[in-house]
Every structure is written in structure tokens, then in C-alpha cells.
Chains A and B, each alone.
Chain A
Amino acid sequence: MIRNYFKIAFRNLWKNKGYSALNIFGLAIGITCASLIFLWVEDEVNFDNFIKDQDQVYYLPTNQQYEGEWRTFYSTPSPLAKDLKDQIPGITKAARTWSENLLFSVGANSINKRGRYADPDFLEIFELSFIEGNAAEALEAPNSIVLTQKTAAQLFGKDEKILGKSLRVNDSDTFKITGVVKNLPENASFEFEWLIPFEKYAAGVEWMKDYQSNFADTFVKLSPEANFKAVDEQVRAIIPTKTDQAGTYAFLHSVKDWHLRSEFKDGKIVGGQIIYVRLFTIIAIIILLIACINFMNLSTARSEKRANEVGVRKALGSGKNRLIFQFLAEALITASLATIVSVILLTILLPQFNILVEKDLDLGLYKLTHLFLLMGITLVCGIFAGLYPAFYLSSFNPVDVLKGARKTQGGASFIRKGLVIAQFTVSIVFIISTIIVYQQIQHIKGRDLGYSRENLIKMPVNGDMIKNFDPMRQDLIATGMIENVALNNSEILSGGNNGSGLEWQGGTNTEDVLISFRYGSSQFIETAGMEFLEGRGFSENISKDSTNVLISESFAKLMGDGSALGKMVTRGGKTYTVIGVVKDYLYGDIYGTSDPVLFFNDPDYGNFMYVRIKSGIAYNQVLQNMEGILKKYNPAFPFEYEFVDDAFNARFKSEQLVGTLSQVFALLAIIISCLGLFGLAAYTAEQRRKEIGVRKVLGASVNNIVRLLSNDFIKLVGIAIVLAVPLAWWTMHNWLQGFAYRININFWVFVIAGLAAIAIALITVSFQAIKAAITNPVKSLRTE
């Protein structure tokens, strides 16, 4: 019997090649899209799963209270890790780490690599697999270093044994290689290419020994029997106990949440990447749904072709259930063929998708999970898409169909129209979402940051750059291509050092306010293109302004009425005089507002050098000159730079991804819907062949006929527009609420989307309509 079903299914598919192709291709697109999304979701959900003891490993952020609001930071006091391990029995491992970029040199080979200073426990918390060396000894000696396989290969060559060999770090220190570990997978939240003992980083730094500064990332591992709640309570109590302050506490953040749930508000997890995981999963299901609707529609529309067969089979004794099974089997066969086509499409499209999402996803059909997922999708699509047509077709009354009476299409026609409306509603929602996401991204990109990010380069400071800053700066300006050069401790787009406990004139409860600190050379404000609102900048003679500070506009507001110039700020027992007020500039959360800033005239803390290029000069020329000068003053380090506006654009990765994927989904949803519409239009034209012939004989023009056939479908799209607009508005309104800085939704977006949908539907339908309209009526009216 099964063989019988297969035979009939394939012969039916072959007999109706056009409709079969529409069905299979439509389903294939849906399955391909869903599969790509599920691959992405799988990667996201499997972040950090190389750590097997998922219930035991935690990172420790801190919640700090400023002006009544809890804010979450990712660094902890340096002594915390040891105290956790000593004082909380449930914690078996605790490690401090700190991320940094170092230059490694082996012979003439030099590369910059980002890695971590880490306590020995880190190796076990992260369950690192050693290819050379072992976890027990690798981070014991201060000048030991562990490299990843990839970094080892880059420095020493592939497959080289390097245990015990030396390498030079930052052109100043020599380290001995005490271990080589397997590369971390791509989907790891905390990456590193090297590990050096944390003590090397902390050695001699007195302020790291107390609880007043937060310059360590802390990781812990709990014992298997430990009670999370009890341990977390103890963790939360430690910092307040050590500092006698209730306004800061550390808490346990599970490895299971590191990637997906790392957005905090008022000290609590409010979401994070999980929002996009859920969003794209829903979209995958919707796209599959649209594809399945196509199948349902085309199958029921063409049901008359199978009516006779159903009648005969019933007359010969087939029960309804048998027929349902037969049609379901046919649907499953179609879905299976669609899956085969989809695998081909996936093989072709996956590399491009990987570029888009910046991942290295693998179709991996050898993996059982992937195979079962693909089979599962096939099964679900086949059954879901086939169920309604199966029930519909098998319900035909043999009496009616065998005497040649046409099956009334009333009920099915209504459902078909509803399905077309559903498809186009989804497509229009996608179109509207695409436009609004694009607008929001452009809105943010156009936001005034308070400084000029074009023609501004930032470079990491290393080696002799601070020592040689003055002559280097002069040489750079002397090229005639560079306006200004400055040093600063912070990455201009991000946050940086901050703290509280300050006092200032004109302010009350000042200790509770979080202030950001910027240490830099005197040229920083001009180089960055920031604006002075009053006062002056720092003198190039550092000692002249060693007790003076500049403040940002929002800081000045905290100092009460009148000019802030001349007012005093006290920090850490030292008092500074305000000599200038700078217009607020945006850093950190691009969508929000930034904390008040205190600028110090202190280039020695410069971690970044900023170079303002003169406009109108070719970049490659400038960079060539810069490289030459940097090589002269800092020969041991490679020339590295980044344009600030590129770095700014890169911050919108998530939003860009949402925007690009919305475009892709909108396109796919429209393609699938149009495939279905095309098929239905073809079928309608076929059904009304005689009617069209009669109308033409009676004088109807091509235009009349095209309008006749198109009108019904355009009405459906019209209803879809009416349904889509409030749905899209609600969805995008909610999405935009997540941004403090956001656009207003304009009505013309809906108008454009609606017109686009109508135009697309019209183009799709009119091909069939015109074809039917220009057919010679004699052909359709000839008596058989």
C-alpha cells in the first residue's frame, strides 16, 4: 500500500510539473530559511557549552548603587576571589582575570594578541584541554605563559613542540611557555589567546590589594552539592562586609546566561541576546508557516483534479481514513523533496549567511541533532501542510463527483482566501519592520555624539609611544596631513574608569554620583572635536594644570547655578579647580545618556592615541606616513589603527543584523507568498477559461479581463494591509521602547509598505491574467 502511495504521489507530481515545482520550491525556501535560522540559534544557545559543569560555573558582576539606581558592572575588587574561596565552603575554585592586548615576538615574528592575566584556578574553571603542559603547573611561576594552539602556530609554526621555549612580550619581558591549550570554540563568551599569571599583572600595585578598586574579572566554580541560593547570598554579603558599604555587592551570574542573558536593569537581568534568539525562532516558524500555507492553498485549489479519483476510490471501498493517509503521504513526499532541494540551497547559501552573521556555521548533516531537526521540519511541514488538504479531499462525496457534478468550492475558497490574507499580512509586517529598523539605525548613526568621529583614528598605546609622544606628535603634524594628536586613557566610544565618593562645590549628596574619569594629554578635547562651552583647555605644560580639571556639561549642572569655572572638586583627598566646561559627549550606551565626566591633564595614563586627519587627504597616503613615523618612535610594535567611525558602525552589529535579516525575511516571505499567488492566479484563470472566452466574445477588452482576474486578489491584499498595519505598529512600537533614543513611527511607512504589497501582488497576478486575457476565445469555447 505504501508503495502504491509513493507511485501515485510521484506520478501526480510529474503530471503537474508546474504546480509541483511551485509547491516544492516554496516549501524548500521556507525550510532553507528556517534551517539557517535554527543553525544560528543553535550556535547562540550553545555558547560556552564547552564548559561541561554548566550548573557550577559563574562569573561575578557587581551591582553598584548610584543616585538610588542599581547599575551593573563587570569588574570586581582584586581580593574578592581569594576571600570567596576561603570563606564560602560551596566555592571550590575562584580566579581573577584581566583582559589585555600584548605584543608577542619570536625572532622577527611579532603579533598582537588579546588574552588574560589569570589565577591558576581559571584553567580548571574553564576546563581547558592541554596539548602540552598541564593545569597543575602552567600558571605557577610569574613569567609563565600558556598559549592557545592557534597563537602557538602563528608564532612558532604548526605542530611545533614549544613547551619550555621563550617568547618576548611587549618588547620588554621574556616569558617561558608552560602550556599549550586547545583553541576555544568560536562561540565562547570570554575569549583569550594567552594566559599569564594574574600575580604578574597585580605585582606591586598596592591599590589592587583592597576593595576600593574594581580591576579584576572574577570567576568561580561551585561544588556539585552546593546550594546556589545559599552561596549567592553569601557572595552578596562579602563586599558590604569588607567595605562597610551596602551600596555594592557581587552576585553569581551563571555560565548558562553569559551570552544570552547579560542585559541588566536596576541590578536585575532583563534580557539580552535571548530576545533575538526568540525573535528569529518565531520568524523561522512564521516563514515555514507561510510556505506550508502555499502548499495547502495550491492543493485545495487543484482538488477538483483529484475529485474523480477520490470518488472512485471511495466507490471501490476505500475508507476516509485511508484516503487521508494517502494524501498525507503525498504531502510528506513533497516535503521530503523540498527538503532535498533545501539541502542543496543550504550548501550554496550557508557561506554567504556565515559572512552576514559573522559565524562559522556548519550544515553538519553527519550530526544526529541536525539530521533529526531536518527530518523533524520535514515531518512537521508535511503533516501540517498536508492535513487540511487531506481532510478536505477525502471528504468528497463519491455520488457528487462521479456524476461529474463540480464540487462546490465555497468553504474551501473562503479558507484559501484567508490563507492568502495571512501570508500577505506577514509579508507586509516584515516590509514595515524592515523600513522602521533601517530608520532607527540611521537615526542613531546620525546622532550627535558631541565630538567629530569622521577622520579620527585611534591607536592602542604600547611600547615607547608615551615616552616619545611629543616628538612623535610633532612629526605627525609636520606631515601637513594631520591636524592634531592626543592621548587618552579611554576608548572614546566606550566607558572607562569611573568612580564615586567625590565632593564638589554647589552639590549635595555628591558621594552617590558616578563620575567618569578621563586622563589624557592637553590636546584631547580639540583632537576629538569636542566643544568648549566656557573656560579654557589644559596647557601643554602639564605642571601648570596639574591641579586643574575640565568637566563635562552635565557635571557643571550638578554644581548648581552660575558658572562652574573656579569651583572646586575633591577626589581621594585632593582638590582640583575647574578651568573649563566641555559640551557633553556620548560614550558607552549609544542609545542612552552618559555620566558626567572629569578630565585630568595626565598623558601618562594614555591607553589610546587619537589622530585627527585633515579632510580631503587620501587615507592611504596619511596611513603610510603615520606608519613610517610610528616605526621610527615605536619600532618593536606593529602599526595598528582603527577609524573611529568604523568602530562606531561596528557597534550596531545586532541592530544591523536585525535590519539585514528583516530585509531577507521580508524578501523571502514575499517570494513564497507570490509563488502561492502565482499558482492560485494560474488556477483561477484556468477555472474561468470558458467565462473569459464568453466575455471576450461579448466585447471585453484585455484590460477588462485583467482587472476582472486581478481584482479578487488585490482585495485580499487590501484586507492584509488593514490587518498588518496595527500588528506592525504594535511590534515595532514595542521594539523601539528598548531604545532611549528612538524615532517616531510615521504613517507614510505603512503607506509605502501597502503600496509595495499591492504592486507586487499585481505584478504576480497580472502575468497569468494577461495570458488568459489574450488567449483566443475560440480555443476555450470549442465543444469537446
Chain B
Amino acid sequence: MITIKDLEKYYSTDEVRTIALNKLSFKINKGEFVAIMGPSGCGKSTLLNILGLLDDPDGGSFIFNDVEVSGYNERKRANIRKHNIGFVFQSFNLIDELTVFENVELPLIYTGVKSAERKQRVEEVLEKMQIMHRRKHFPQQLSGGQQQRVAVARAVVNNPKLILADEPTGNLDSSNGNEVMNLLNELNETGTTIIMVTHSEHDAKYSHRIIRMLDGQVVSENVLV
């Protein structure tokens, strides 16, 4: 599904050039659950942003679903993103002014789904995440675990081929964290490809493969049995 080759990303100021990704290369197959691990500053989040088409690499190749997407402008990237990728963030990133229902509905609005169908699909996914009873509440009225479930609901409502999760349990206690990881696991079992950035060895065990990074490079890849 994803092939990256010699991927490069720099951050420059007037005096200093920092290499965030240093000729990175790997493949991710459809249906895989991959964890990316490494110390702070190794380039995990940078990589995730590129994989999520939120950012553009400075060099190398990024093939997504057999299409070379590096060098795409923001409009093209946004188009691919909204139809194919769902995001789960560490700090949930729900919109405070929208209710649970409206937050989950947002990706469907951006893909032009009609109102009646939106309602049906949102309710379906809220039921699945067991958060339907809170659909009229605002994010600040929910617990951390509930908010992350809403975030996961939002990520999957468009049936994306790929879910990118950036430290999805980072702000949760262990019980809620396990709940979220189980959700992601279930999604993966239905065929959704998941790439997860994590510091947690415990969470990494849910994945099929762990890619470890250091200083913008892959230092190891381990397949979990």
C-alpha cells in the first residue's frame, strides 16, 4: 500500500539545517498494523505527517496505493487524505464547538456525503464505539477515554484504507488505553491498515511489525509473532 524510498525531510533556519528524515526506506502492506518507535526527536512524527499527506518530503519517493504522491500540492493531498486516511491524535483534537455527533460527521461533510446518509453512518459508527448515548454532548463534557473513542469514530466513519495514530493512548490511563488499542486491533482485523507511532512497548505489541527509528533513519524492523 505504501512504499517510501530514500525519503528526506529537512528543517532549516538561517543558521542551522536539521535533518528530520535521512533517506528513509520501507514498505507497508495492505492490512498491516505497523508500530513506529524511537526516542524523542528521531523523526517519528515527521514521518507520520508525511505518510498522512499533511506534509511534503524534501526528497525521495512516496508511493501511496501505486501512485507517486511526493510533490503533490496541498489540494491534491487533501483530496487523497479525506478519501483514504483517518487520523487519531494523542490529544484527541476534537473541535470544542461541535457535539460528538457533529465531530464524527465532519469527514463525511468534506467528502460530500448527503445529510440522510451522513446521519445513518455516524450513528452506526457511534454505536460501534459505544458512545451513541453521548452524541449530543460537547467534547469538554466527556472523559479522556470517551473523547478518544469519538476521535477513533471520526477516523473511521469514512471507511478509510489507512489509519494513522500518533500516540493514541498517550493521554489515557491504562484501562482506557487498552480499550482504544482493542478498537484499533478490531479495525485492523477488518482489513484497515494501521500505522501507529508510540513510545509504549505495551501498545506496540498489538502491531504486526515494529519499525525502530533513530536520527531520522530506520535502525531495525521486527516482525512480531
Interface residues of A (CB under 8 A from B): 1, 4, 7-8, 11-12, 15, 308-309, 311-320, 322, 398-399, 402-404
Contacts and interface: CB of A to CB of B under 8 A. Distances in A.
Contact of B45 (A7, A314, A403): A403
Interface string B95-127: 111100010001101110000000000000000
A13 to B, nearest CB: 10
Interface of B: 45, 49, 52, 54-55, 74-75, 78-79, 81-83, 87, 89, 91, 93-98, 102, 106-107, 109-111, 154
A404 B95 CA distance: 15
Contacts of A403: 45
A317 B97 contact: no
A8 B154 CA distance: 18
Contacts of A12: 97
A1 B94 CA distance: 18
Given A314-B54, A315-B81, 16 more contacts: A1-B109, A8-B97, A8-B98, A308-B93, A312-B95, A313-B110, A316-B107, A316-B154, A317-B78, A317-B79, A317-B110, A318-B78, A318-B110, A319-B78, A398-B54, A402-B89
Contacts of A15: 96-97
17 contacts: A1-B109, A4-B102, A7-B98, A7-B102, A8-B98, A15-B96, A309-B97, A312-B95, A314-B78, A315-B52, A315-B93, A316-B107, A318-B110, A319-B74, A399-B54, A399-B55, A402-B93
Contacts, number: 63
Contact of A320 (B74, B87, B106, B107): B74
B87 A315 contact: yes
B11 to A, nearest CB: 11
A1 B114 CA distance: 10
Nearest to A1: B109
A317 B87 contact: no
Contacts of A319: 74-75, 78
A317 B81 contact: yes
Contacts of B106: 313, 316
Contacts of A312: 93-95
Given A11-B97, A308-B93, A315 B79 contact: no
A718 B109 CA distance: 49
B182 to A, nearest CB: 24
The 5 closest A-B pairs by CB, nearest first: A317-B82, A317-B110, A11-B97, A312-B93, A316-B107
Nearest to B111: A317
Contacts of A311: 93
Contacts of B83: 317
A316 B110 CA distance: 8
Nearest to B87: A315
Contacts of B111: 317
Q: Chain A CB within 10 Å — which of B45, B91, B95 has the most?
A: B95
A138 to B, nearest CB: 69
A9 to B, nearest CB: 9
Given A399-B49, A403-B45, A316 B87 contact: yes
Given A314-B78, A320-B74, A399-B55, A309 B95 contact: yes
A641 B83 CA distance: 86
A327 to B, nearest CB: 13
A4 B97 CA distance: 11
A749 B154 CA distance: 63
A381 to B, nearest CB: 23
Contacts of A402: 54, 89, 93
Contacts of B96: 15, 309
Contact of B54 (A7, A8, A11, A315): A315
A315 B98 CA distance: 16
Contacts of A8: 97-98
Contacts of B154: 316
